[in-house]
Amino acid sequence: MRPANIGIALYLTACLVPAAFIALAEEPKIIPLWTSQTPGAKGTNDWDIPTLTVFMPTNQPGPVSAIVVCPGGGYGGLAINHEGYAVGEYLNSIGVACLMLKYRLPKKGYMHPVPLQDAQRAIRLTRARAADWNIDPTRVGIMGFSAGGHLASTAGTHYDKGNSSATEQADTLSCRPDFMVLVYPVVSFKDFPHVGSRNNLIGTNAPADLVENLSNETQVTPDTPPTFLIHANDDKGVPPENSINFYLALRKAKVPTEMHVYEKGGHGFGIGRGKTVAGSSWQERLGDWLRSRNLAPQR
């Protein structure tokens, strides 16, 4: 069930997108990542069961692209309103499917690599259900905000081709996202880190090689997916160097990338929060980028 203030997100979406381009979505459906026992689950509480909330655009001919969305929250919570539900409504309005991921959290006993396993499973499951959801399995991306941006950038730099001998179809499929969207992301655990996210995910005394491995600017290769980056210059929560250094690593590896750094915006503006240019226009720039890569319908 959507929160009571989802009407606010719908209103903001309508304000941001010309009416001619809005395709009202169906009520989103919530599905578990695993229909049988969730691997590593410590119980059967809500926080033990990772899920996808599926937002599908309507009246879209042919298979659409899809984005697995990872809300932020410092690996301690999930900001599902302005970094989840509102994002799903916006993506649907430009003809893109949204799969909002409720991943398991270290605060509930699920430290690394469990959140990454949830993100990888979300990508595999989206591809496995592509025909059911009218999704193009070759256009499945991942998007993350703040600590969710760390999870998304980890999924985009740590992936595999799937297990060909797995008994479940989803697990035979690749978990490499076809593109990434990172919004004021935590990227590094060593340079300009968000210490709270790092400590939550891997603890206060993590070995140096793990810190290096999860500093995703060090993990970029020519096979890293094309990436769109957003940050604000005055972000005091997650310094913009996280995006800048990731952008430079992508450039060095010759990975297609686009970055927007706004003068003002702070941290956590998401969709519908704050009155800065960053908070009111970044999604328009994202829409342009998606259309330029044939990941969203042309206007």
Does residue 240 have a pLDDT over 80? yes
How far is Cα 121 from Cα 103, in angstroms, rounded to an integer? 10
Angle at alpha carbon of residue 178, lines to 101 and 53, rounded to 5° = 20
What pLDDT was estimated at residue 277?
A: 78
244 in a structural domain: yes
297 in a structural domain: no
Q: What is the mean pLDDT of residues 150-158?
A: 98
User: For 216-228, how does the pLDDT look when each residue is reduced to its tens digit (9 = 90+)?
Assistant: 999 999 999 999 9
Range of the domain at 283: 6-292
61 in a structural domain: yes
Does residue 18 have a pLDDT over 80? no
117 in a structural domain: yes
Does residue 94 have a pLDDT over 70? yes
User: For 29-42, how does the pLDDT look when each residue is reduced to its tens digit (9 = 90+)?
Assistant: 999 999 989 999 99
What pLDDT was estimated at residue 266?
A: 94
Q: What is the mean pLDDT of residues 158-184?
A: 97
What pLDDT was estimated at residue 276?
A: 79
Q: What is the mean pLDDT of residues 171-185?
A: 98
Task: Give the pLDDT band (50/70/90) at residue 275.
Answer: confident
298 in a structural domain: no
159 in a structural domain: yes
What pLDDT was estimated at residue 61?
A: 84
The mean predicted confidence, pLDDT, of the chain is: 91
Q: What is the mean pLDDT of residues 92-114?
A: 97
Q: Of 224, 140, 148, whose CA–CA distance to 178 is shortest?
A: 140
How many percent of the chain have pLDDT more than 70?
91
Domain CATH for 256? 3.40.50.1820
Task: Give the pLDDT band (50/70/90) at residue 25.
Answer: low
Q: What is the mean pLDDT of residues 99-113?
A: 97
Does residue 170 have a pLDDT over 90? yes
What pLDDT was estimated at residue 262?
A: 95
Query: What is the count of structural domains for the chain?
Result: 1
What pLDDT was estimated at residue 26?
A: 67
How far is Cα 129 from Cα 135, in angstroms, rounded to an integer? 8
Are 257 and 230 contacting, i.e. CB atoms less than 8 angstroms apart?
Answer: no
Does residue 273 have a pLDDT over 90? no
| 2-11, 86-95, 102-111: the lowest-pLDDT one | 2-11
How far is Cα 282 from Cα 36, in angstroms, rounded to an integer? 39
Does residue 281 have a pLDDT over 50? yes
What pLDDT was estimated at residue 5?
A: 41
299 in a structural domain: no
55 in a structural domain: yes
What pLDDT was estimated at residue 280?
A: 79
Higher pLDDT, 177 or 60: 177
What pLDDT was estimated at residue 279?
A: 77
Angle at alpha carbon of residue 102, lines to 96 and 106, rounded to 5° = 140
Are 92 and 23 contacting, i.e. CB atoms less than 8 angstroms apart?
Answer: yes
- Looking at 54-133, list the stretches that DSSP marks H as alpha helix, in order from N- to C-terminal side: 86-93, 114-128, 130-133
User: For 28-75, how does the pLDDT look when each residue is reduced to its tens digit (9 = 90+)?
Assistant: 999 999 998 999 999 999 999 999 999 999 988 889 999 999 999 999
Q: Of 58, 1, 69, 52, whose CA–CA distance to 271 is shortest?
A: 69
